[in-house]
Amino acid sequence: MTDEQSTEVPHSLEFASSDGRLLAEPSPSGYDVFMLEQVSLGQSRFMTPGIAPDPRGVALGRYGLIQLPTLEGVVSWLRLYSAEASLDEILPAMQIMRVRTPLQSRELLLRISATSSYLMDAAARCARLVGGSTFTGTGKHFVKYRDERSPYGYDSPEIQALPAGAHLMAHSEDFTQSYAKEGELSFEKLLFRLSLKREPAATLPSEELAKDLLLVVERGLGDGVIRYLWRNRVQANVGVVRPQGQSTFDALGRATQFLMVRVAELPERILELFVSTPGIDVFRSKGSNVAVQLGYTHVIDLASCGTVFDSARFYLFWGGQADRVDVVAGPLELSAIEHLTHLEIDIEGPDKRSNLVLDKASDPVSVSMRLAPTIKPPTRVMGTLVPPEQAAWVKRLVYLLPPSVLRGHRIAVTDRGVLLVSEAEIDTIPIGNLLVELAAGLLIPAGMELVPRVAPDVLATTLGHGAGVLTIFPPNGSPFQIGEASFVPLERRAIAKLDVEEVTSVSMAYEGMGDPSVANDPVGRFALWGFQSESDK
């Protein structure tokens, strides 16, 4: 064989085991194949560039390389790994490369940052489950990662230059393979192109299934859904959103805007109703700005790759026939539904009569207010409303009240009855319907509450209630308002009008008497002994 022939014919080594099995075949790259050496505990010198022992003694490079034959294998590995660990730890340095071998076969290589042998152990275990191989290295040469036969890893006894056009080389026990890079696959594009798979019905308990949900509601159903949630005392926030990249109207001329309602917890019966109602789609939150349609799940755990999603946007993953991802400008600005629910209450003066429960058919969102019994203990009793037929009892009561009580109470007489109020508690008055203070100047009967349970400030705004006005909800009839100027102190009002006669002064002089005279009689030497009478002389 001449020197020219020796340069043209690839030189390779063959290693046979004791049973005659071929451990190494001629390399397609035209380079010699060498068996890997097992790393021993405490070994510090390595032939593979960039390989060094970690604190556990495991041979580890800067990167980990996972070789997978198909794209399905890459997705399967991502699915397994995201279920056990966070993808956010490896995403900054992760690359999905499309490569070609010297035999023109195509494979996929997943390069990750090997921050620790614990991370690489999890990556290698997931790779074995999906039929992949795991390597570690720093530059262009990667050696097989540790396994059961070599707990501390492997090292290549000899490293040769890469063939022309090769990007990297992987060294295993029974082969050495070079790869030429053809391109990269973006993880973000792969994530958004994957379709959702239907979730088993019994994946979560029903009480967990109804927590932290989002409702996507068509605009035409918005008013009815808001009213229904409010009547069932479901706390929710709502906003109008439109997916980015879509026009105001779709191809059929329908508006692409929809309502997004966030509910913290939804009763199971309401959840079943919404899931079966056309025009209402239920989503489950998978992060601060990601939600997946209820009944479906993404093959990759979206909560483990939160860095992929822009914090200034909100992502909705649709399943089934829709099979799309809607991106909404964020962060979401949602308002509480109680601010969208109109409370229509008829306020009348003391001289009008009507029912307390009112309905306005013209407003489809408004709800009626009513008084309902409550088991809560009464708060401050601030007044009492005495019916007109019991007004005479107030006169009798005045004679029994002590002066301190009279000075602390005020009274107003209306056609609804006699209204007694006090700055202090008025529970010493044994007649009438006691009134407790719901808010400043807003009185309701003791033992009752207003439903729906709106905030006092919202109710006061709806009623037009303000300073200098008292708003009273009587047990029967509609509420009424009366001004503070109509009240007078009870002790002043209790005194009836007194008739006082006018009299004239008279003179103190008496007729028939002359001018008065003064006589100075001697009293003797012992004046202090008293005067002697005529009989004693």
Q: Residue ranges of the domains in the chain?
A: 3-185, 195-338, 370-494
Q: Which of 81-95, 123-137, 279-293, 430-444 has the lowest mean pLDDT?
A: 430-444
Name the more confident of 223 and 503: 223
Name the more confident of 243 and 498: 243
Are 217 and 280 in contact by the 8 Å Cβ rule? The answer is yes
Q: Which amino acid is at 177?
A: Q
Q: Which of 19-28, 147-156, 233-242, 371-380 has the lowest mean pLDDT?
A: 19-28
> Which two tokens mark 12?
């390779």
Q: What's the chain's average pLDDT?
A: 77
Q: Is residue 519 packed enough to be buried (19+ CB in 10 Å), middle (13-18) or exposed (0-12)?
A: exposed
pLDDT of residue 269: 87
Are 289 and 260 in contact by the 8 Å Cβ rule? The answer is no
What angle is formed at CA 415 by the lines to CA 412 and CA 417, rounded to 5 degrees?
60
pLDDT of residue 512: 58
| Tens-digit pLDDT profile for residues 452-483 | 777 777 777 777 777 778 888 888 878 888 88
Of the pLDDT bands very low, low, confident and very high (cuts 50, 70, 90), residue 4 is: very low
pLDDT of residue 82: 92
pLDDT of residue 386: 83
Of the pLDDT bands very low, low, confident and very high (cuts 50, 70, 90), residue 117 is: very high
Helices (H), 287-436: 391-398, 403-408
Q: What is the 8-class DSSP label of residue 485?
A: G
Of the pLDDT bands very low, low, confident and very high (cuts 50, 70, 90), residue 323 is: confident
pLDDT of residue 16: 36
Q: What is the 8-class DSSP label of residue 80?
A: H
Asked if pLDDT for residue 173 goes beyond 80, the answer is yes
The residue-averaged pLDDT of 143-162 equals: 89
Of the pLDDT bands very low, low, confident and very high (cuts 50, 70, 90), residue 14 is: very low
* d(C-alpha 248, C-alpha 397), whole Å: 71
> Which two tokens mark 445?
């009967």
Of the pLDDT bands very low, low, confident and very high (cuts 50, 70, 90), residue 359 is: very low
CA dihedral over 117, 121, 127, 133, signed as positive or negative: positive
Percent of the chain beyond pLDDT 90?
A: 28
Q: How many CB atoms lie within 10 A of CB 73?
A: 19
pLDDT of residue 1: 38
Q: Which amino acid is at 253?
A: G
CA Rg value for the chain: 47
Are 179 and 170 in contact by the 8 Å Cβ rule? The answer is yes
Of the pLDDT bands very low, low, confident and very high (cuts 50, 70, 90), residue 358 is: very low
Q: Which of 12-16, 75-79, 215-219 has the lowest mean pLDDT?
A: 12-16
In order, the DSSP letters of 27-44 are -TTSS-----EEPPTT--
> Which two tokens mark 70?
């198909």
pLDDT of residue 17: 35
Which long-range CB contacts under 8 A does 122-131 form with residues at least 24 apart? 122/81, 122/84, 122/85, 123/64, 123/66, 123/81, 126/77, 126/80, 126/81, 126/84, 127/66, 127/68, 127/77, 129/76, 129/80, 130/68, 130/73, 130/76, 130/77, 130/80, 131/68, 131/69, 131/73
Asked if pLDDT for residue 264 goes beyond 70, the answer is yes
pTM attached to this predicted model = 0.57
Task: Tell me the sheet residues that pair with 433.
Answer: 385
Name the more confident of 287 and 28: 287
pLDDT of residue 509: 59
Asked if pLDDT for residue 15 goes beyond 60, the answer is no
Q: Which of 60-69, 101-110, 308-317, 392-401 has the lowest mean pLDDT?
A: 392-401
Of the pLDDT bands very low, low, confident and very high (cuts 50, 70, 90), residue 421 is: confident
Q: Is residue 509 packed enough to be buried (19+ CB in 10 Å), middle (13-18) or exposed (0-12)?
A: exposed
Asked if pLDDT for residue 230 goes beyond 60, the answer is yes
pLDDT of residue 34: 53
pLDDT of residue 132: 93
The residue-averaged pLDDT of 479-502 equals: 69
pLDDT of residue 498: 52
